[in-house]
């Protein structure tokens, strides 16, 4: 995704976004940034203290909220939202990875979108609720019977604590993930687990593709973590017992090919080849360069 809206016009909100200067790193607080590359009008820079890559300057939270709402309604994410078979395969796979790590109790899914993961939890008999910034997506989730709070995760105030909090494909979108994760630590029961998925900017996929890596999509993603930087961020936010592992995303090859053509046009021939490998609709675990991160809140004195 680039700095344009989904009908090809430059988003007015993003066109007028102020350039307030480079912000302090969200992981280590350093203010030294080395430019890496510019893509679709956005500057990607590496922190001189910890190596985190971020957009500099960062979009404002208000601009991001408007951008993501447009994305759910008629943008690139809308394509994924309509691909129920793709979302269901991803949700089921993530559930099998996280369930063995969680104690008994209710779950909270941050950035729950249209409720596909919540539906998997309900089918397993696990009480759950979600938070979703897009009112359109939250409405679809409620229509399928899910309990969803519409609004940003930064302002959400839970009425109880949870055995597990999941935040799949969330922290890379948030301007201040340290503040968010510090709040999440207080939402977990003792022994509860936080589970994240996010792109790994040190993965072989990212390394091989360079600036053309499909997760370098501004302003969808504003921070680009590696195992060391996400581990450091979680420690700063009050988590311990951090485990990072590479993970694959099961996607139908026809869907993956469509996205590849859109995000990396030079790889269109590969996209066409993918469509011949497996029948349409069959999900294949793809090494896209993602990581699964789990952590537990540090014990309080």
Q: What is the pLDDT of residues 234-261, one digit of tens each?
A: 999 999 999 999 999 887 766 666 666 6
Supply the Cα-derived Rg of the chain in whole angstroms: 19
Which of the given ranges, 10-14, 33-37, 262-266, has the highest pLDDT on average? 33-37
- Helices 135-143 and 61-74 sit at what angle, rounded to 10 degrees? 50
* Full set of structural domains in the chain with CATH: 34-297 (3.40.50.150)
- Select the more confidently predicted residue: 55 or 281: 55
Return phi, psi of residue 148, to 5°.
-135, 135
Q: What is the pLDDT of residues 196-211, one digit of tens each?
A: 999 999 999 999 999 9
DSSP the chain: --SB-TTSSBPHHHHT-----PPPPTTT----EEEEEEETTEEEEEETTT--EEESSPPPHHHHHHHHHHHHHHSHHHHHHH-HHHHHHHHHHHHHHHGGG--SS-EEEET-TTSHHHHHHHHTT--EEEEES-HHHHHHHHHTT--EEES-TTT---SS-EEEEEEET-GGG-S-HHHHHHHHHTTEEEEEEEEEEEE-TTSHHHHHHGGG-TT--TTT--EE--HHHHHHHHHHTTEEEEEEEEEEEEEEHHHHHHHHHHH-GGGHHHHHHHHHHS-TT-EEEEEEEEEEEEEEEPPP-
pLDDT at 12 over 80: no
pLDDT at 75 over 60: no
CA distance to 107, 221, 252, per residue, from 173 (Å): 21, 5, 24
CA distance 187 to 162: 6
CA distance 189 to 180: 17
Query: What per-residue confidence (pLDDT) applies to 154?
Result: 86
Average pLDDT of the chain to the nearest whole number: 84
CA distance 188 to 164: 7
| Poorest-pLDDT segment among 203-212, 264-273, 285-294 | 264-273
């Amino acid at each position: 995704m680039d700095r344009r809206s989904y009908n090809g016009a430059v988003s007015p909100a993003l066109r007028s976004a102020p350039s307030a200067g480079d912000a302090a790193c969200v992981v280590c607080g350093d203010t030294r940034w080395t430019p890496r590359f510019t893509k679709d009008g956005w500057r990607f820079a590496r922190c001189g203290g910890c190596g985190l890559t971020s957009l500099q300057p960062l979009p404002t939270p208000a601009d991001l909220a408007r951008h993501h709402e447009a994305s759910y309604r008629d943008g690139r994410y809308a394509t994924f939202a309509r691909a129920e078979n793709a979302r269901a395969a991803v949700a089921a796979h993530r559930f099998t990875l996280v369930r063995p790590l969680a104690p008994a109790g209710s779950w909270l899914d941050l950035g729950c979108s249209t409720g596909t993961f919540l539906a998997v939890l309900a089918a397993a008999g696990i009480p759950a609720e979600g938070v979703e910034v897009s009112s359109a997506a939250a409405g679809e989730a409620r229509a399928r019977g899910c309990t969803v709070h519409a609004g940003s995760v930064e302002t959400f105030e839970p009425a109880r604590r949870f055995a597990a909090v999941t935040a799949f494909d969330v922290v890379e979108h948030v301007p201040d993930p340290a503040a968010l994760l510090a709040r999440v630590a207080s939402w977990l029961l003792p022994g509860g687990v936080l589970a994240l998925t996010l792109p790994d900017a040190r993965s072989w996929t990212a390394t091989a593709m360079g600036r053309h890596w499909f997760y370098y999509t501004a302003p969808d993603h504003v921070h680009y973590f590696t195992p060391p930087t996400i581990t450091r961020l979680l420690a700063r936010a009050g988590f311990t017992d951090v485990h990072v592992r590479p993970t694959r995303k099961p996607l139908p090859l026809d869907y993956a090919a469509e996205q590849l053509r859109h995000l990396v046009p030079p790889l269109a021939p590969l996209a066409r080849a993918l469509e011949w490998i497996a029948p349409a609709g069959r999900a294949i675990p793809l090494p896209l360069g993602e990581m699964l991160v789990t952590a537990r809140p540090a014990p309080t004195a």
